[in-house]
Structure 1
Amino acid sequence: MKIALLLHNAYGIGGTIRTTMNLAAALADRHDVEIVSMMRHRQTPRFALDPRVRLVPLVDTRPDGEDAKDPLFSQASQDFPAAEKRHHQYSRLIDTRVAAYLRGCPADVIIGTRPGVNVYISRFAPRRALRIAQEHLRHDAHSKKLRAELASHYRALDAVVTTTEADAAVYRAKMPMPGVRTLAIPNSVPEPAVAPSEGTAPVIAAAGRLVPGKRFDLLIDAFATVAEKYPDWQLRIYGGGAEKERLAARIERLGLTGSAELMGSRSPIEAEFAKASLVAVASDAESFGMTIVEAMRCGVPVVSTDCPLGPGEIIQDGVTGRLVPTGDEQALANALMDLIADAPGRRAMGAAALERSRAYDPAPIAQRYDRLFTELEASRFARSWERGRATTRTRLGRLARRLGVSPGRRRAPAARKEASA
Structure 2
Amino acid sequence: MRALARKGKSAARRLYRGYNRRKARNAPPPSIQRVRILLLHAYGMGGTIRTVFNLASYLAEEHDVEIVSILKEAEEPFFPVDPRVRFRFLDDRVRPSRDPLRAMLSKMPSRLIPQEETAYHRFNLWTDLQLARYIRSLDTGVLMATRPGLNLAMAQLAPPGVITIGQEHVALRTQAEPMQNLIKWRYRRLDALVTLTKADLRDYRETLPKKPRKLARIPNAVPPMSGGQAKLDAKVAIAVGRLTRIKGFHRLITAWETVAAAHPDWKLRIFGAGPQEANLRQQIAEAGLEDKVELPGPTSDVGAELEKASVYVMSSRHEGFPMTILEAMAKGLAIVSFNSPHGPKEMITHEVDGLLVKPRTNANLAAGILRVIEDEPLRRSLAEHAVETAATYDVDAVGRQWDALLAELLARRDGSYVRPQPAGASPGTAPDADADAPATEQAGAQVIPLNP
Task: Say yes or no: TM over 0.5.
Answer: yes
| Letter paired with 1:232 | D
- What is residue 322 of structure 2 aligned with on the other side? 289
Aligned-residue CA RMSD (Å): 2.0
| 3-state SS in 2 of match to 1:74 | coil
- What is residue 134 of structure 1 aligned with on the other side? 167
- 2-side partners of 1:181 and 1:164: how far apart? 15
Q: Deviations over 1:81-138 (max 9, x none)?
A: 2332322322333222222222222552110001111122112222222211011111
1:311 maps to 2:337: no
Alignment match of 1:220 (pick from 242, 245, 253)? 253
- TM-superposed CA distance for 1:286, in Å, is 0.7
| Letter paired with 2:318 | A
- TM-superposed CA distance for 1:63, in Å, is 6.4
Q: TM-score, normalised by structure 2?
A: 0.80
- What is residue 124 of structure 2 aligned with on the other side? 91
In 2, are the aligned partners of 1:28 and 1:53 still within 8 Å (CA)?
A: yes
Residue 188 and residue 66 in structure 1: after superposition, are their counterparts in 2 closer, same or farther (change >3 A)? farther
In 2, are the aligned partners of 1:297 and 1:353 still within 8 Å (CA)?
A: yes
- 2-side partners of 1:21 and 1:109: how far apart? 16
- 2-side partners of 1:289 and 1:149: how far apart? 26
Q: Deviations over 1:131-152 (max 9, x none)?
A: 1101111111211111112222
- What is residue 358 of structure 2 aligned with on the other side? 325
In 1, are the aligned partners of 2:338 and 2:359 still within 8 Å (CA)?
A: yes
- TM-superposed CA distance for 1:353, in Å, is 1.1
- What is residue 394 of structure 1 aligned with on the other side? none
| Letter paired with 2:236 | V
- TM-superposed CA distance for 1:204, in Å, is 0.7
- TM-superposed CA distance for 1:264, in Å, is 1.5
1:266 maps to 2:299: yes
**Runs of 5+ consecutive residues of structure 1 not aligned to the other structure:** 384-421
| 3-state SS in 1 of match to 2:296 | strand
- TM-superposed CA distance for 1:173, in Å, is 1.1
Alignment match of 1:25 (pick from 47, 57, 67)? 57
- What is residue 373 of structure 1 aligned with on the other side? 406
- 1-side partners of 2:76 and 2:255: how far apart? 40
- What is residue 275 of structure 2 aligned with on the other side? 242
| Letter paired with 1:278 | V
Q: Deviations over 1:256-279 (max 9, x none)?
A: 220122222112222111100001
- What is residue 369 of structure 2 aligned with on the other side? 336
| Letter paired with 2:232 | G
- What is residue 101 of structure 1 aligned with on the other side? 134
Residue 99 and residue 197 in structure 1: after superposition, are their counterparts in 2 closer, same or farther (change >3 A)? same
1:230 maps to 2:263: yes
1:110 maps to 2:146: no
- TM-superposed CA distance for 1:289, in Å, is 1.2
In 2, are the aligned partners of 1:67 and 1:73 still within 8 Å (CA)?
A: no
| 3-state SS in 1 of match to 2:71 | coil
- Higher mean Cα deviation, 103-112 or 70-79? 70-79
Q: Deviations over 1:199-225 (max 9, x none)?
A: 000111111122222111221222221
In 1, are the aligned partners of 2:51 and 2:223 still within 8 Å (CA)?
A: no
In 2, are the aligned partners of 1:61 and 1:67 still within 8 Å (CA)?
A: no
- 2-side partners of 1:83 and 1:58: how far apart? 22
- 1-side partners of 2:354 and 2:122: how far apart? 39
| Letter paired with 1:31 | H
Residue 306 and residue 32 in structure 1: after superposition, are their counterparts in 2 closer, same or farther (change >3 A)? same
- What is residue 415 of structure 1 aligned with on the other side? none
Q: Computing the radius of gyration over CA atoms, which structure comes out larger, 1 or 2?
A: 1
1:11 maps to 2:82: no
Q: Deviations over 1:278-308 (max 9, x none)?
A: 0111111111111111111211121000013
- 2-side partners of 1:324 and 1:207: how far apart? 18
- 2-side partners of 1:253 and 1:201: how far apart? 26
Q: Deviations over 1:170-196 (max 9, x none)?
A: 111122333432221111222311111
Alignment match of 1:121 (pick from 132, 144, 154)? 154
- What is residue 57 of structure 1 aligned with on the other side? 89
| 3-state SS in 1 of match to 2:222 | coil
- 2-side partners of 1:242 and 1:43: how far apart? 22
Q: Number of aligned pairs?
A: 383
| Letter paired with 1:365 | V
In 2, are the aligned partners of 1:238 and 1:265 still within 8 Å (CA)?
A: yes
| Letter paired with 2:69 | S
Q: Deviations over 1:352-406 (max 9, x none)?
A: 21221122222222211111122223345799xxxxxxxxxxxxxxxxxxxxxxx
Residue 52 and residue 106 in structure 1: after superposition, are their counterparts in 2 closer, same or farther (change >3 A)? farther
| Letter paired with 2:180 | R
Alignment match of 2:334 (pick from 297, 301, 304)? 301
- Higher mean Cα deviation, 44-53 or 130-139? 44-53
Runs of 4+ in 1 over 6 A off after TM superposition: none
Identity of aligned residues (%): 38
- 2-side partners of 1:67 and 1:289: how far apart? 40
- 2-side partners of 1:270 and 1:307: how far apart? 24
In 1, are the aligned partners of 2:47 and 2:322 still within 8 Å (CA)?
A: no
| Letter paired with 1:344 | P
In 2, are the aligned partners of 1:130 and 1:373 still within 8 Å (CA)?
A: no
- 1-side partners of 2:363 and 2:222: how far apart? 31
- Higher mean Cα deviation, 7-16 or 257-266? 257-266
Alignment match of 1:352 (pick from 385, 389, 393)? 385
- 1-side partners of 2:209 and 2:307: how far apart? 43
Alignment match of 2:396 (pick from 359, 363, 372)? 363
Q: TM-score, normalised by structure 1?
A: 0.86
In 1, are the aligned partners of 2:66 and 2:85 still within 8 Å (CA)?
A: yes
In 2, are the aligned partners of 1:59 and 1:67 still within 8 Å (CA)?
A: no
**Runs of 5+ consecutive residues of structure 2 not aligned to the other structure:** 1-32, 418-452
